[in-house]
């Protein structure tokens, strides 16, 4: 019904998101627990809400009842919240308790143990100031102007500054409560806004909305939370808080005249029929804008002490530091990511990355940071810094990291140093002794005496010999001699190619000659078989046939062949050898005797013998 | 002398059964001039070598006497005259080490190793000085690491031999009467070797430790993101650190740095290893 009213807890929607998350669903990091009071000041009989919030694990068991003398604390319900950020689903369980103060005084609600599976966490101790009567519960509350009959009774504003003394830069939580009479159908038009100078304020966050009964009237109370930090020392006045709201008022001829009381409101109580709507059910009411303003609050700001450590960057609060590095085995020059997390409560906007106390032998890159807040206003959470460093030499551990802050409770500076993170760096020069000695004293055993630094190894002797020839950086392939030298194999290759080509040509001529001899041999045998020639021609052809066959067998000139060579070539027996001799003699005789052709004949036996002799000439 | 030249040029009497050919008067004059020129050149060369030898001896003497800066000057004179040798750069590196200039010491050891990659003294001293200077080294790529067992010149010779062997095999296959499996295999092997050797030459010449390798000689040198002294720093480079020069722009060089980074640094702060 109210203005700010859309609650985002739609179970179906969250269930769908959880299902969508599937395997990527990461249920936060380590479980954490916080406890907050809706108001740190109350009056006797005025209820205050206590919330114990467990993040990171839903299987937590909070106590049903909390026993504090003078307070009645009962658990009133449990809420489950899911949050999805970059597909990482984080869940939290909120256990709500109602605290009813039974008497006035300052009450300490002790740390409560919340069991989470096999481990247990403890909530911080909380303080509740209880006044003896509602009208004096707090200074701000007493300033409310809720006189009956005044239009302002429909709305009110309240500024609660729980801390009256702070240090420069210290985050002071501030609560703004705006109350609206629900029957006036109020609508917040502008604000709320904190006015004042000399301090910075976090963005206002609407934290809750309750129906409260104040001075016998019901109000929808919207609570805004923020935190302020003073920029300088001195006395400050915060506020007033200003806001603008629209309300419905009955349109009457005389606004001074009070509206007729409902017949059911006999005792001037807030019965529903006293609502302006019932007084003017047909739209006779009008909307009016009202300025809502609270009383200002004052607080004193003390300066920070002068002896700030070198690594102090202005962080004020209470912090812890954890450090890790990945990878731990690297080569010299390889990057190592150092992750340092500053968690706690304070002004995180002034929390800078922890500083390396000894950067010698390291090369450092600018860090990146990420802040995850645990509360509504961002004064509680964890700021994670990732710094990439690379070793220039052999190292056995990361350089120590230091982070300084001012603790307003202890009122002194605190410097956090991490434990030595062992790493292994291969390659490069060995670590300088100074770098090793600069490890934090807490991590180094006190009994170990410092080893004397090894004396640097000396270089080798001079060489007094000079080579006879001058050397060159020019690579061999860029020198002319390299390419000139290629002329030798090139010439050899060309010579080889020429020789092979010539050889091929020669082989071709020889083949033609052999072919011609084969042809001649075939023709001669054909003529000898016919026997139609004169004896002179016959024997001449026969001896020629023998010569050709021998020439083919021995690859020689046929004219150089005689009977003996032919007989030796074909390895003839004595009879054939004699026959061959006779054939050659007869051929010579007939060729050189001068007898005319055709004077004699050759007997068929002679012819057959000669043919058989020639045909049987085989190698 | 003239007679000697004439005798060398034109012998009229038979020599060992063969007859020497005389080219006449003009050829004789040409030969005479050539011999004179050769003698003069040899004289000048020997004179220069003797002079540089004396300079080298002087530098060594200065070094032995502990006058390291004078030794550096003498060695540098020899370097400027082009009388380069691995020993000269090694000695110069030693002299620079003695005067405390670790960047130049490393540079000259690197030069000695560039001329003679198996120079044990330069190798040993380079390690010592690198450790002392905490100089950063370039990471070689895996092909470079594998090809380190041979030098650039050796791969060049292998490539040339493989090429010509392959060519002879191809010609043998073209002109041969039959295709021999052995020749085919040999030709394939040859050309494969050629390709591998050529790749090795390319990688060694253009890799991180190739021709563009330079050594940071200045002190307090920081590689930056841009060509300005006010630009953000990429990496602090101790003297003697290796870089690979990628390009030059005015007084700035753009270089590949150790740890796979890149950045700009003043040109005067680094010197190329190979002259």
Q: Which domain holds residue B261?
A: 213-272
Number of domains in chain A: 4
Cα torsion through A405, A408, A409, A414, rounded to 10:
20
Closest by CA position to A247, among listed A154, A128, A352: A154
- Chain B positions touching A430 (Cβ under 8 A) are 131
Q: Provide the 3-class DSSP secondary structure of residue A504.
A: helix
CA distance A392 to chain B (A): 7
pLDDT over threshold 90, residue A534: no
Kindly state whether residue B84 falls inside one of the protein's structural domains.
yes
Residue A464 in contact with partner chain B when CB distance is under 8 A: yes
| One domain, residues B71 and B112 | yes
Two tokens, residue A221 = 């109370």
- Chain B positions touching A497 (Cβ under 8 A) are 171, 175
- Chain B positions touching A461 (Cβ under 8 A) are 121
Nearest to B90 among A458, A463, A493 (CB): A463
| One domain, residues B49 and B122 | yes
Using left for φ > 0, alpha for ψ between -120 and 50, and beta otherwise, residue A338 falls in beta
| One domain, residues B58 and B129 | yes
Interface ipTM = 0.75
- Chain A positions touching B145 (Cβ under 8 A) are none
The answer to whether the CB atoms of A489 and B258 lie below 8 A apart is no
Q: What is the pLDDT of residue B27?
A: 61
Kindly state whether residue A449 falls inside one of the protein's structural domains.
no
pLDDT band at A601 (very low <50, low <70, confident <90, very high): confident
| One domain, residues B258 and B184 | no
| One domain, residues A35 and A99 | yes
pLDDT band at B116 (very low <50, low <70, confident <90, very high): confident
Residue B143 in contact with partner chain A when CB distance is under 8 A: no
* Residue to substitute from B87, B110, B263, interface A, most A β-carbons within 10 A: B87
Number of domains in chain B: 3
Query: For B246-255, how does the pLDDT look when each residue is reduced to its tens digit (9 = 90+)?
Result: 999 888 999 9
| One domain, residues B100 and B159 | no
| One domain, residues A30 and A127 | yes
Q: How far apart are CA A604 and CA A528, in angstroms?
A: 12
- Chain A positions touching B258 (Cβ under 8 A) are 333
Q: What is the pLDDT of residue A443?
A: 32
Q: How far apart are CA A378 and CA B158, in angstroms?
A: 71
Q: What is the pLDDT of residue B48?
A: 62
pLDDT over threshold 90, residue A467: no
CA distance B161 to chain A (A): 9
Kindly state whether residue B91 falls inside one of the protein's structural domains.
yes
Q: What is the pLDDT of residue A358?
A: 79
Residue A210, phi then psi, degrees to nearest 5? -130, 155
Kindly state whether residue A586 falls inside one of the protein's structural domains.
yes
- Chain A positions touching B87 (Cβ under 8 A) are 463, 465-467
| One domain, residues B159 and B122 | no
The answer to whether the CB atoms of A460 and B125 lie below 8 A apart is yes
Is pLDDT larger for residue A444 or for residue B107? B107
Nearest to A392 among B57, B121, B238 (CB): B238
| One domain, residues A154 and A279 | yes
Residues of B (163-192) whose Cβ lies below 8 Å from A = 164, 167-168, 171, 175
Kindly state whether residue B154 falls inside one of the protein's structural domains.
yes
Kindly state whether residue B18 falls inside one of the protein's structural domains.
no
Query: For A344-392, how does the pLDDT look when each residue is reduced to its tens digit (9 = 90+)?
Result: 888 888 888 888 887 777 877 777 788 888 887 888 889 998 887 888 7
| One domain, residues B127 and B48 | yes
Two tokens, residue A468 = 């006879």
Closest by CA position to B270, among listed B213, B224, B196, B232: B213
| One domain, residues A323 and A425 | yes
Q: What is the pLDDT of residue A252?
A: 54
Closest by CA position to A404, among listed A341, A323, A344, A315: A315
Q: Check the CA dihedral A363-A365-A366-A367 and report its sign.
A: negative
pLDDT over threshold 70, residue B9: no
SS3 content of chain A, % helix, strand, coil (to 5): 25, 35, 40
Closest by CA position to A614, among listed A568, A573, A574, A566: A566
The rounded radius of gyration (Å) of the Cα atoms in chain B is 27
Q: What is the pLDDT of residue A442?
A: 32
End-to-end CA distance of chain A: 128
Kindly state whether residue B28 falls inside one of the protein's structural domains.
no
Q: Is there a contact between A392 and A360 (Cβ–Cβ < 8 Å)?
A: no
pLDDT band at A58 (very low <50, low <70, confident <90, very high): confident
| One domain, residues B56 and B76 | yes
- Chain A positions touching B72 (Cβ under 8 A) are none
Kindly state whether residue A470 falls inside one of the protein's structural domains.
no
Q: Is there a contact between B10 and B23 (Cβ–Cβ < 8 Å)?
A: yes
pLDDT over threshold 60, residue A25: no
Q: How far apart are CA A497 and CA A209, in angstroms?
A: 103
Q: What is the pLDDT of residue A433?
A: 41
Q: How far apart are CA B151 and CA B136, in angstroms?
A: 23
Question: Which residues contact residue A338 at a Cβ distance below 8 angstroms, ignoring those fewer than 6 apart?
Answer: A323, A324, A325, A386, A387, A388, A389, A398, A401, A421
* Residue to substitute from A463, A484, A494, interface B, most B β-carbons within 10 A: A463
- Chain A positions touching B137 (Cβ under 8 A) are 427-428
Kindly state whether residue B170 falls inside one of the protein's structural domains.
yes
Residues of B (51-110) whose Cβ lies below 8 Å from A = 53, 56-57, 60, 63-64, 82-88, 90-91, 94, 97
Nearest CA in chain B to A468: B49
Query: Of B206, B233, B250, which residue constitutes the final position of a domain?
Result: B206
| One domain, residues B154 and B107 | no
CA distance B175 to chain A (A): 6
Using left for φ > 0, alpha for ψ between -120 and 50, and beta otherwise, residue B240 falls in left
- Chain B positions touching A476 (Cβ under 8 A) are 152-153, 156-157
For A119-128, letters b (16+ CB in 10 Å) and e give: eebebeebeb
Distance of CA B55 to CAs A466, A469, B48, B88, Å?
11, 16, 10, 11
CA–chain centroid gap for A569, Å, is 93
- CATH code of the domain containing B105: 1.25.40.10
**Residue B142 per-residue DSSP state:** H
Q: What is the pLDDT of residue A393?
A: 76
The answer to whether the CB atoms of B164 and A493 lie below 8 A apart is yes
| One domain, residues A412 and A350 | yes
Q: Is there a contact between A421 and A440 (Cβ–Cβ < 8 Å)?
A: no
Instruction: Sort strands A329-331 and A424-426 into parallel, antiparallel or unpaired.
Output: parallel
**Residue A427 per-residue DSSP state:** S
Nearest to A457 among B128, B259, B275 (CB): B128
Q: What is the pLDDT of residue A532?
A: 74
Kindly state whether residue A260 falls inside one of the protein's structural domains.
no
pLDDT over threshold 70, residue A432: no
CA distance B33 to chain A (A): 26
Q: Is there a contact between A207 and A274 (Cβ–Cβ < 8 Å)?
A: no
Q: What is the pLDDT of residue B105?
A: 94
Residue B212 in contact with partner chain A when CB distance is under 8 A: no
Q: How far apart are CA A415 and CA A571, in angstroms?
A: 119
Two tokens, residue A454 = 């090894």
- CATH code of the domain containing B257: 2.30.30.40
pLDDT band at B162 (very low <50, low <70, confident <90, very high): very high
Residue A459 in contact with partner chain B when CB distance is under 8 A: yes
pLDDT band at A179 (very low <50, low <70, confident <90, very high): confident
- Chain B positions touching A434 (Cβ under 8 A) are none
Query: For B176-185, how does the pLDDT look when each residue is reduced to its tens digit (9 = 90+)?
Result: 777 788 889 9
Q: How far apart are CA B163 and CA B145, in angstroms?
A: 24
Q: Which domain holds residue A40?
A: 12-131
Q: How far apart are CA B156 and CA A476, in angstroms?
A: 7
Q: How far apart are CA A103 and CA A43, in angstroms?
A: 8
CA distance B15 to chain A (A): 31
Query: For B218-245, how does the pLDDT look when each residue is reduced to its tens digit (9 = 90+)?
Result: 888 888 888 888 888 888 888 999 999 9
The answer to whether the CB atoms of B85 and A470 lie below 8 A apart is yes
pLDDT band at A64 (very low <50, low <70, confident <90, very high): confident
Kindly state whether residue A259 falls inside one of the protein's structural domains.
no
Arithmetic mean of pLDDT, B115-143: 86
pLDDT over threshold 50, residue B157: yes
Q: What is the pLDDT of residue B90?
A: 93
Residues of A (225-254) whose Cβ lies below 8 Å from B = none
pLDDT band at A12 (very low <50, low <70, confident <90, very high): very low
Kindly state whether residue B22 falls inside one of the protein's structural domains.
no
Q: Is there a contact between B87 and B112 (Cβ–Cβ < 8 Å)?
A: yes
The answer to whether the CB atoms of A493 and B124 lie below 8 A apart is no
Kindly state whether residue A191 falls inside one of the protein's structural domains.
yes
The answer to whether the CB atoms of B156 and A466 lie below 8 A apart is no
Kindly state whether residue A476 falls inside one of the protein's structural domains.
no
Query: For A69-111, how does the pLDDT look when each residue is reduced to its tens digit (9 = 90+)?
Result: 888 888 888 888 777 766 667 788 888 888 888 888 888 888 8
| One domain, residues A226 and A366 | no
pLDDT band at A4 (very low <50, low <70, confident <90, very high): very low
Query: Of B112, B133, B154, which residue constitutes the final position of a domain?
Result: B133
CA distance A425 to chain B (A): 13
Most confident residue range from A8-22, A453-467, B178-192: B178-192
pLDDT band at A496 (very low <50, low <70, confident <90, very high): confident
pLDDT over threshold 50, residue B23: no
Q: How far apart are CA A55 and CA A28, in angstroms?
A: 7
| Other CB atoms within 10 Å distance of the CB of residue A524 | 21
| One domain, residues A122 and A205 | no
Arithmetic mean of pLDDT, A29-46: 78
Q: What is the pLDDT of residue B103?
A: 92
Residue A472 in contact with partner chain B when CB distance is under 8 A: yes
Q: What is the pLDDT of residue B192?
A: 94
| One domain, residues B146 and B101 | no
| One domain, residues A288 and A171 | yes
Q: How far apart are CA B100 and CA B132, in angstroms?
A: 11
Kindly state whether residue B242 falls inside one of the protein's structural domains.
yes
The answer to whether the CB atoms of B121 and A460 lie below 8 A apart is yes
Residue B205 in contact with partner chain A when CB distance is under 8 A: yes
Q: Provide the 3-class DSSP secondary structure of residue A133.
A: coil
Q: What is the pLDDT of residue A593?
A: 72
| One domain, residues B155 and B222 | no
Query: Which of A155-159, A521-525, A574-578 has the least mean pLDDT?
Result: A155-159
| One domain, residues A161 and A112 | no
| One domain, residues A232 and A288 | yes
Query: Of B116, B133, B150, which residue constitutes the final position of a domain?
Result: B133
Nearest to B152 among A475, A486, A504 (CB): A475
Residue A497 in contact with partner chain B when CB distance is under 8 A: yes
Arithmetic mean of pLDDT, A222-250: 82
| One domain, residues B192 and B238 | no
Strand partners, A248: A287
- Chain A positions touching B134 (Cβ under 8 A) are 361, 392-393, 428-429, 432
Distance of CA B235 to CAs A357, B105, B252, B273, Å?
19, 22, 15, 21
pLDDT band at A594 (very low <50, low <70, confident <90, very high): low
Q: How far apart are CA A531 and CA A501, in angstroms?
A: 46
Q: How far apart are CA A313 and CA A353, in angstroms?
A: 9
Kindly state whether residue A212 falls inside one of the protein's structural domains.
yes
CA distance A161 to chain B (A): 45
- Chain B positions touching A496 (Cβ under 8 A) are 168, 171
Arithmetic mean of pLDDT, A552-571: 88
Residues of B (109-138) whose Cβ lies below 8 Å from A = 111, 114-116, 121, 124-125, 128-137
Is pLDDT larger for residue A302 or for residue A281? A302
| One domain, residues A199 and A52 | no
CA distance B7 to chain A (A): 32
Q: What is the pLDDT of residue A449?
A: 33
Is pLDDT larger for residue A266 or for residue B232? B232
- CATH code of the domain containing A229: 2.60.40
Residue A582, phi then psi, degrees to nearest 5? -65, -40
| One domain, residues A119 and A142 | no
For A217-255, letters b (16+ CB in 10 Å) and e give: bebbbbbbbbbbbbeeeeebebbbbbbbbbbbbbebeee
Burial class from Cβ neighbours inside 10 Å (0-12, 13-18, 19+) for residue B178 reads exposed
């Amino acid at each position: 019904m109210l203005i700010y009213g859309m609650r985002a807890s739609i179970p179906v929607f969250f269930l769908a998101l959880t299902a969508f998350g599937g395997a990527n669903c990461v249920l936060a990091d380590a479980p954490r627990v916080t406890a907050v009071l809706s108001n740190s000041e109350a009056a006797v009989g005025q209820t205050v809400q206590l919330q114990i919030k467990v993040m990171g694990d839903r299987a937590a068991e909070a106590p049903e009842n909390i026993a504090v003398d003078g307070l009645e604390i009962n658990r009133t319900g449990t809420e489950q919240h899911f949050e999805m950020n970059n597909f990482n689903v984080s869940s939290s369980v909120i256990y709500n308790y109602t605290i009813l103060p039974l008497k006035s005084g300052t009450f300490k609600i002790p740390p409560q143990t919340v069991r989470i599976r096999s481990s247990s966490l403890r909530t911080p101790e909380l303080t509740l100031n209880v006044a003896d009567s509602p009208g004096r519960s707090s200074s701000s509350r007493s300033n409310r102007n809720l006189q009956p009959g005044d239009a302002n009774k429909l709305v009110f504003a309240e500024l609660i500054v729980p801390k009256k003394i702070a240090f420069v830069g210290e985050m002071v939580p501030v609560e703004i409560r705006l109350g609206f009479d629900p029957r006036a159908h109020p609508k917040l038009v502008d604000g709320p806004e904190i006015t004042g100078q000399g301090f910075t304020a976090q963005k206002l966050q609407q934290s809750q909305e309750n129906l409260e009964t104040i001075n016998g009237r019901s109000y929808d109370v919207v609570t805004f939370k923020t935190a302020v930090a003073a920029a300088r020392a001195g006395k400050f006045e915060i506020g007033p808080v200003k806001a603008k709201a629209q309300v419905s008022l009955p349109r009457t001829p005389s606004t001074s005249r009070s509206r007729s009381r409902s017949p059911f409101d006999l005792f001037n109580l807030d019965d529903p029929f006293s609502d302006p709507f019932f007084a003017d059910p047909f739209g006779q009411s009008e909307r009016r804008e009202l300025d809502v303003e609270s009383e200002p609050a004052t607080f004193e700001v003390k300066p920070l002490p002068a002896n700030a450590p070198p690594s102090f960057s202005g962080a004020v609060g209470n912090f812890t530091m954890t450090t890790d590095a990945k990878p731990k085995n690297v080569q010299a020059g390889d990057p190592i990511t150092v992750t340092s997390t500053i968690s706690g409560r304070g002004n995180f906007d002034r929390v800078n990355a922890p500083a390396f106390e000894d950067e010698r032998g390291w090369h450092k890159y600018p860090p990146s940071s990420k802040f995850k807040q645990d509360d509504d206003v961002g004064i509680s959470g964890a700021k994670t810094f990732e710094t990439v460093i690379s070793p220039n030499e052999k190292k056995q551990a990361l350089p120590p990291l230091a982070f300084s802050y001012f603790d307003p409770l202890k009122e002194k500076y605190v410097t956090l140093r991490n434990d030595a993170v062992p790493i292994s760096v291969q390659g490069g020069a060995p670590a300088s002794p100074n770098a090793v000695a600069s490890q934090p004293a807490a991590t180094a055993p006190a009994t170990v005496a410092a080893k004397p630094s090894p004396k640097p190894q000396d270089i080798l002797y001079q060489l007094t010999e000079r080579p006879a020839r001058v050397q060159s950086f020019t690579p061999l392939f860029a020198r002319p001699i390299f390419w000139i030298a290629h002329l030798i194999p090139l010439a050899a290759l060309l010579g080889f190619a020429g020789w092979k080509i010539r050889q091929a040509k020669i082989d071709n001529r020889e083949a033609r000659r052999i072919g011609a001899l084969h042809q001649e041999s075939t023709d001669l045998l054909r003529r000898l078989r016919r026997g139609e020639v004169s004896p002179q021609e016959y024997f001449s052809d026969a001896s020629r046939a023998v010569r050709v066959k021998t020439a083919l067998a021995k690859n020689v000139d046929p004219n150089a062949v005689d009977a003996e060579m032919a007989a030796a070539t074909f390895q003839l027996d004595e009879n054939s050898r004699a026959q061959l001799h006779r054939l050659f003699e007869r051929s010579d005789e007939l060729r050189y005797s001068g007898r005319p052709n055709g004077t004699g004949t050759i007997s068929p036996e002679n012819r057959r013998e000669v043919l058989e002799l020639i045909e049987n000439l085989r190698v | 002398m003239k007679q000697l030249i004439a005798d060398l040029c034109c012998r009229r009497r038979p020599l060992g059964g063969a007859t020497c050919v005389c080219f006449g008067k003009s050829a004789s004059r040409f030969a005479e001039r050539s011999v004179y020129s050769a003698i003069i050149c040899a004289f000048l060369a020997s004179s220069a070598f003797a002079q540089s030898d004396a300079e080298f001896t002087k530098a060594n003497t200065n070094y032995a006497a502990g006058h390291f800066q004078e030794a550096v000057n003498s060695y540098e004179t020899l370097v400027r005259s082009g009388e380069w040798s691995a020993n000269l750069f090694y000695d110069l590196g030693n002299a620079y080490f003695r005067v405390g200039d670790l960047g130049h010491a490393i540079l000259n050891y690197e030069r000695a190793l560039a001329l003679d990659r198996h120079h044990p003294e330069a190798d040993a001293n380079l390690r010592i000085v690198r450790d002392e200077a905490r100089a950063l080294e370039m990471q070689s790529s895996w092909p470079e690491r594998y090809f380190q067992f041979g030098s650039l010149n050796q791969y060049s010779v292998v490539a040339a031999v493989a090429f010509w062997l392959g060519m002879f095999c191809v010609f043998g296959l073209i002109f041969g009467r039959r295709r021999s499996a052995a020749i085919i295999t040999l030709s394939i092997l040859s050309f494969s070797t050629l390709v591998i050797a050529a790749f090795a030459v390319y990688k060694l010449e253009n890799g991180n430790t190739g021709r563009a390798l330079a050594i940071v000689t200045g002190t307090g040198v920081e590689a930056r993101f841009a060509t300005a002294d006010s630009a953000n720093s990429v990496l602090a480079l101790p003297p003697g650190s290796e870089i690979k020069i990628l390009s030059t722009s005015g007084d700035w060089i753009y270089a590949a740095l150790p740890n796979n980074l890149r950045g700009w640094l003043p040109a005067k702060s680094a010197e190329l290893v190979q002259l």
